[in-house]
Structure 1
Amino acid sequence: MLADNISVKDARKLVLVSQGLHKTNAFGSGAQGILKTLQQLSYIQIDTISVVERAHHHSWWNRVNNYSADLLAKLIEEKHVFEYWSHAAAYLPMADYRYSLHRKQAIAGGETHWHGKDDKLTQQILQRIRTEGPLQAKDFEREGGAKATGWWDWKPAKKALEQLFMEGELMAVKRQGFQKVYDLTENVIPAGIDTTTPTEEEFYRYLIQRCLQANGLATASEIAYLRKGIKSKIQTQCLTMLENGELRLLTCQDLQYYALPQAQELLNKKIKRSQVKILSPFDNLLIQRKRMQRLFGFDYQIECYVPEAKRQYGYFSLPLLWGGEFAGRMDAKIERKTGLLLIQHLHIETPKVAAFIEDLLPTLREFLLFNQGRNILLKRLSAPYASSDQSVKAGRQVIENLII
C-alpha cells in the first residue's frame, strides 16, 4: 500500500498537536483538563526525582491551566485515575483498567517476576490489609528500628507489597510523602468498570490506537516500546487495520509511520510560535529519545545518571520547546526552604537569542510559581549559535532584570 509523503515540519506538527503542546490549555482546565489530558495521552509517567516539581505534575502543568496536585489527588480518590505500569510507573485512566491485566497476569503467573515471592509473607500482608484497611510500607517496619531477618523486616515487606501491586492483588489508593498507600484491588475498582481480560487482538489494537492518538504517528517499534516480544504482532495488527481503513501510512525522511485517519485534520491546527514550553525530562513527548532525534533533530539525554565530570548541560536539564522546535535546555533546581529557583545552566540552541529569551520570560515566571518559588538566580548562560557575544550578554541582562 502506498504511503503519503509528509514533511518533517508537518510530522512535528502532528506530534505536538497530538501531545497538546501546540498551544496553551489544549485540553481545558482544572480537573476536567487533567482527565482529558490523561485520556488523550493514555498515561503520565511518575518519577521520584524532585529537584524541581515531580515529573507527573510537571507534564500536566504544561497542558492544563489551573493544574494542582490536589486536583489530581481528588481524581485518584474518586477513582477516575489509578496508578500502575506503562513503560514505567504511571498514572492511567481508570476506564482503561482492563488493559493493565495482561501484565498483571503475566507477573502473577510467573512469566515475569517483579521481586520474587514469599508466600507466607504475602498472606500475612494481605490479612493485615483486610483487617486494618489501607497501609503503607512503613506500617510494616519492625518496632525499635532494629535489623531483623524475620518477615516483619521492612525490606522484605516492601518487596512483597510491590510484588502484590504488580500482580494486581493490591492497588495504590493514594501517596503520602510520595509513598504508596496500598489497599485490596477489590476495594479500589469502582462499580461499572470492565474487569474482563482483553483478547490478544483487543490488547494490540488498544496499544496501537492509544499510541497513535497520543503521538500522531509512530512505527511498529515505537508502538511496542519496552514491551518484549510483541513487535511482530503489533506489525501484523497494524497491517490488518491498514487494510480495513482504520490506519493510514505516512512516509517521512524515508521511514514509514502509521497514523490514524484523522491525522490530516490535526495538521489544520496552528502551533503558537511564540510559546516556550519548559518540559520535564519524563514528559510523554520525550520518552523515546531516538524518535526525538530523528523527528526533531534534538539529541537529548538526562544527565542525572551521568558522572558529574562527563555532564555537558547539567544534572537535570529541562528541554525547552519553542513553537515547533527545541531551542535549548535549562538545568534547574528549586531550593524549597528559600524559594530560590536556581538556573544552573541555561543553554540556548538557536541563534535568535534575544527573541527566544523574550518568549521564555513569561513561561519562566509561571514555572517559578509552579515550583512555589519567589526568586530566580541565573548562574550560567551559553548560546553557541549566537551571532555575537553581545547578544548573549543582552540576554543575560534581560533575565537578571526579571530576577530583580
Structure 2
Amino acid sequence: MTHRLTRDEARRIVVRAQLLDAERPGDVVEVAEQLGYVKIDPTATIAPCEHAVLWSRIGWSYEPGQLVKAVEGDRQLFEFDGAFRPMSLLPLMLPAMRRWPEHERSRQWLEANARFREDVVARLRAEGPLPASAIPDTSQVSRPPDGWSGSNQVPHMLDFLLRQGVVAVAGREGRHRRWDLAERVYPQDLPEHGDEEAARLLDERRLQAAGIAKQRSPWTPVGDAGEPATIEGSTRRYRVDPEALAALDRDDGAGRVAFLNPYDGMLFDRPRLSELFGFDYVLEQFKPAAQRRYGYFAYPILIGDRFAGMLDAALDASREALRVNAVHELVPFEPAEDEMVRAEIAELGEWLGVPVTGL
C-alpha cells in the first residue's frame, strides 16, 4: 500500500521526527537517539553547533555539561566522524567499520605504515587517553596535504584507526580530542549483527530521524525502510516511517518557534527542504560580505511547520551580549508570531547568560 500524503502532513512528520514540535524532549540522550547524530562544529557566532542543536530541541533546561556527562561519564554517546552518536548505533556501524577501508589508496597507506600503526596503538595502550599532540609521528609514508591538516601524520592515523574501530575518542579538552583504545571506551557487551542486518537497521534509524525521505536520496539514504508514500504535487517516491505516520492524528497544539544552526541536520537534505517546505536554503558563510542577504551565519527560523525567517545574531566580541543584527521575515509575521520570535530570542539570551541588544 502506498500512503498518499498532503504537504502539510509531510511537513508535520518531518518536524516531529526532528523533535521540533511543541513537545520538547527531556534530555541529551533522547535527542541523540531520535536524530541519530548531533553534529560537532566549532563555528560559534551564537554557540557551537552541538550545543545549538540540543538547545533548539530541549530549550532552557539544556546545559553543555549534560552533553559532556553523556559522552565522557555515562558513555551513552560516542564521537565519530564529526558528530556525537547514540551508543545504540555502534553495533550497527561495526560491520562497516571492520571492512574499512574499501579504497585501495587508503589500504596501501595503512600497509606502508604498519609499524607506525603499531606505535600509535602501543602508545595509547601504555599511556592513553592522550591528545594527538602527545603521540610521536613515526610514519614511513606521508599523505599529501589536504588543506585541513598539516604534515603531521598522527591525526590521519588516528582517524583511520577510529574508522576501523581500533581507537576511539575518550573525551575532549576544549576543542581538542583525547584518544584511547576503543576497548577502553566502547562497551564490550554490544550485540552482533551481520552486514545485511546492520545495513537494514541503519536505514530504519535514518528514516526514524527523517520521518519521510526520498527512497533514493543521497542526502538521506533510507533504502527500503518504512513504507512507500507519495506527496501531493510531487512525482517522487518517498518512504515514510510507520510510527511517524501513525502519530499524525496526535494533536500538535499551536507549534513553536525554533532557531536552527546552519549545520543542523534538519537543513541537510536541501531538495527535500525545498520540495516540502518551499525553503531554498543557502548558507552564506562562504560568500563575500557584499553578496550576503541574511548574514554570515544566520539561523533559519522555523515557526510551526514553515520556515518564516532568518535570525542574524551573534555574541559580541566581548561575549557579554547577544547582538541581534536583523530578523529577516521571509513571509510577514503575524503579531502573535512576532511575539513568539522575540520571546525565543530573549530565552536564547537567558540561556547564554547575556543580555540581548539590537532587538
Structure 2 partner of 1:57: 51
Offset from partner CA, 1:165-188 (integer Å, 9 cap, x none):
222211001111111110001111
Equivalent residue for 1:170, pick from 167, 172, 179: 167
Give, in whole Å, the separation in 1 of the partners of 2:95 and 2:288: 37
* Deviations, residues 245-277 of structure 1 (Å, cap 9, x unaligned): x62434332232111333333212333436211
Which residue number in structure 1 is paired with residue 318 of structure 2? 337
Query: Is 2:102 the partner of 1:105?
Result: no
Tell me which of 192, 217, 241 is aligned to 1:260: 241
1:301-323: per-residue Cα shift (whole Å, max 9, x none)? 11112232322211101000011
- In structure 2, the CA distance between the partners of 1:314 and 1:154, relative to structure 1 (3 Å rule), is same
- Which stretches in structure 2 are left out of the alignment for 5+ residues? 144-149
What is the aligned-residue RMSD (CA, Å)?
2.7
CA distance in 2, matches of 1:325, 1:280: 16
Letter paired with 2:171:
K
Match of 2:2 in 1: 3
Q: Deviations over 1:304-355 (max 9, x none)?
A: 1223232221110100001111110112221363412122332111223543
Q: After superposition, what is the alpha-carbon deviation per residue over 1:113-163, rounded to whole angstroms, capped at 9, x for unaligned?
A: 399443333222211111112001222479xxxxxx999x97222222222
2:128 paired residue number: 133
Query: Which of 38, 48, 52 is 1:44 aligned to?
Result: 38
2: CA distance between counterparts of 1:127 and 1:200?
30
Indicate the residue corresponding to 1:402 in structure 2. Answer: none
Partner of 1:381: none
> C-alpha offsets along residues 55-97 of structure 1, whole Å, 9 cap, x if unaligned?
1111111222421221111111221111113xxx211111221
Report if aligned partners of 2:255, 2:303 keep a CA contact under 8 Å in 1.
yes
2:303 matches 1:356: no
CA contact 1:274–1:359 (8 Å) conserved in 2: no
Aligned residue pairs, count:
345
Match among 177, 181, 191 for residue 180 of structure 1: 177
The structural deviation recorded for 1:293 is: 0.9
After superposition, the Cα gap between the structure-2 partners of 1:285 and 1:162, relative to the gap in structure 1 and judged at 3 Å, is same
Taking the aligned partners of 1:106 and 1:348, their CA distance within structure 2 comes to 48
Alignment pair present for 1:80 and 2:76:
yes
- Conserved? CA contact 2:7–2:231, under 8 Å: no
Q: TM-score under structure 1 normalisation?
A: 0.78
Q: How far apart in 2 are the matches of 1:352 and 1:124?
A: 60
- What corresponds to 2:146 in structure 1? none
Q: What secondary structure does 2:78 align onto?
A: strand
Per the alignment, residue 71 of structure 1 pairs with 66
Q: Matches of 1:306 and 1:188 in 2, distance apart?
A: 40
The 8 Å contact of residues 11 and 252 in structure 1, kept in 2 or not, is answered as no
Whole-angstrom distance in 1 between the partners of 2:55 and 2:108: 33
Q: Do residues 12 (structure 1) and 11 (structure 2) align?
A: yes
SS at 1:312 equivalent: coil
Q: Is the 8 A contact 2:7 2:276 kept in 1?
A: yes
Deviation at 1:36, TM superposition (A): 1.4
Instruction: Map 1:116-131; keep pairs closer than 5 Å.
Output: 116-117=109-110, 118-131=113-126
Contact 1:140–1:154 (CA<8 Å) still a contact in 2? no
The CA deviation at 1:210 is 1.1
Q: Matched residues in 1 for 2:104 and 2:299: separation?
A: 37
Verify the 8 A CA contact 2:39 2:49 in the aligned structure 1: yes
Q: Distance in 2 between matches of 1:59 and 1:138?
A: 29
From 156, 160, 175, the equivalent of 1:159 is 156
Structure 1: distance between partners of 2:22 and 2:13: 13
Q: Match for 1:296 among 266, 277, 287?
A: 277
Q: 3-state SS of the aligned residue for 1:5?
A: strand
Q: What SS class does the counterpart of residue 74 from structure 1 fall into?
A: helix
Q: Amino acid of the residue matched to residue 79 of structure 1?
A: R
Q: Deviations over 1:204-251 (max 9, x none)?
A: 3213211221121111223x537xxxx7xx64xx1xx6xxxx624343
Q: Distance in 2 between matches of 1:362 and 1:312?
A: 24
Distance 1:321 1:188 in 2: 37
User: Matched residue of 1:327: which SS?
Assistant: strand
2 CA distance for matches of 1:76 and 1:60? 14
Describe the shift of the 1:261–1:368 C-alpha distance in structure 2 as closer, same or farther (beyond 3 A).
Answer: same
Aligned to 2:147: none
Q: Structure 1: how far apart are the matches of 2:64 and 2:245?
A: 35
* Aligned-partner Cα distance in 1 for 2:63–2:108: 33
